[in-house]
């Protein structure tokens, strides 16, 4: 999820709350004046709009006199993610892992930018820097990014919609050294008219290189964009073609 998708208006927050959007848990807090509690976006409670106020942080909700809802427990971290940054041939990789598997692999040049992006994506998680405990797994990620050794069976825990997960699985089926168009990926998941949604799912891929969205190019062979910089995409494709 990118920062721009975070609801910044109360109307957008209200809509997210009506959807019970778990991905936005921690992005804002809903305080209910009639009950005096504050909640996560996904809470099962159904307050009336006129009784609701929104807070950007739990601290703000508490300062306004609200206490944590006992049902959705907005005062507790939802999960723990352990993370580290690793140098690779494509710059710095930030790797984050849940108990289930790799949740995030991003690429960049500035560690502060990568960490801020991590914090923005996982506002309700406990984020624990850990370069030692996961060293062998994180080094395997770096090896895959660097094109050293075969793809490893790393446990993946990317979170997304069913369509996004189908697209990401299709991307992992594109062999190294080859490319596919967005339309081809759409056909491969049985959704030939969903080209735009496929392109959006590629752009939302949370596991750089491990889910090879860089192997998707325009139908005319043009590189199209790349979330982590088109120069990195070019370098990856050139290396895989060699
Ligand atoms: Zn609640």
Ligand 1 mean position, distance from CA 69 (Å): 4
Which tens digit of pLDDT belongs to each residue from 101-112? 999 999 999 999
Instruction: Characterize 1-26 residue by residue with b for buried, 16 or more Cβ atoms within 10 angstroms of its Cβ, and e for exposed.
Output: eeeeebbeeeeebbebbeebbebbbb
110 and 89 in a single domain? The answer is yes
Residue 156 domain-assigned?
Answer: no
What range does the domain containing 94 cover?
A: 80-146
Known catalytic membership, residue 213? yes
Contacts of 234 (CB under 8 A, 6+ apart): 223
Which tens digit of pLDDT belongs to each residue from 72-112? 999 887 788 999 999 999 999 999 999 889 999 999 999 99
Residue 56 domain-assigned?
Answer: yes
Mean pLDDT of 17-41: 90
Helix (H) or strand (E) holding 137: helix 135-146
Confidence band of 4 (pLDDT split at 50, 70, 90): very low
Residue 90 domain-assigned?
Answer: yes
CA distance 8 to 27: 9
Ligand 1 mean position, distance from CA 101 (Å): 28
In the prediction, which pLDDT does 2 show? Answer: 41
91 and 139 in a single domain? The answer is yes
Residue 154 domain-assigned?
Answer: no
Contacts of 77 (CB under 8 A, 6+ apart): 124, 125, 126
The CATH number that applies at residue 92 is 3.30.160.70
87 and 29 in a single domain? The answer is no
Query: What mean pLDDT is reported for the chain?
Result: 90
The CATH number that applies at residue 215 is 1.10.10.10
Strand-pairing partners, residue 39, are 30
Tell whether the torsion through CA atoms of 239, 158, 21 and 29 is positive or negative: negative
Domain count, the chain: 3
Confidence band of 21 (pLDDT split at 50, 70, 90): confident
170 and 232 in a single domain? The answer is yes
Greater confidence, 42 or 188? 188
Ligand 1 mean position, distance from CA 13 (Å): 15
The CATH number that applies at residue 25 is 3.40.10.10
CA distance 23 to 230: 28
Catalytic residue among 43, 69, 202, 213, which?
A: 213
142 and 174 in a single domain? The answer is no
Confidence band of 151 (pLDDT split at 50, 70, 90): low
Residue 153 domain-assigned?
Answer: no
In the prediction, which pLDDT does 150 show? Answer: 64
The pTM for the full model equals 0.75
Query: Is residue 169's pLDDT more than 90?
Result: yes
Ligand 1 mean position, distance from CA 83 (Å): 29
């Amino acid at each position: 999820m990118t920062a721009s998708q975070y609801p910044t208006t109360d109307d957008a927050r209200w809509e997210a709350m009506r959807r019970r959007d778990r991905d936005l848990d921690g992005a804002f807090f809903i305080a209910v004046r009639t009950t005096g509690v504050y909640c996560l976006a996904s809470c099962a409670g159904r307050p009336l709009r006129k009784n609701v106020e929104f807070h950007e942080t739990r601290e703000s909700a508490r300062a306004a006199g609200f206490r944590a809802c006992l049902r959705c427990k907005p005062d507790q971290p939802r999960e723990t993610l352990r993370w580290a940054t690793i140098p690779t041939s494509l710059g710095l990789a930030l790797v984050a892992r849940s108990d289930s598997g790799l949740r995030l692999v991003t690429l960049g040049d500035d560690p502060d930018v990568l960490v801020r992006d991590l914090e923005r994506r996982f506002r309700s998680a406990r984020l624990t820097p850990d370069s030692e405990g996961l060293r062998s797994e994180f080094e395997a990620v770096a090896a895959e990014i660097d094109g050293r050794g075969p793809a490893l069976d790393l446990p993946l825990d990317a979170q997304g919609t069913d369509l996004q997960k189908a697209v990401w699985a299709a991307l992992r089926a594109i062999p190294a050294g080859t490319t596919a168009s967005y339309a081809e990926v759409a056909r491969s998941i049985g959704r030939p008219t969903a080209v735009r949604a496929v392109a959006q799912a590629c752009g939302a891929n949370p596991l750089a290189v491990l889910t090879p969205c860089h192997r998707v190019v325009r139908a005319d062979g043009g590189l199209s964009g790349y979330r982590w910089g088109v120069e990195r995409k070019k370098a990856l494709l050139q290396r895989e073609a060699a």
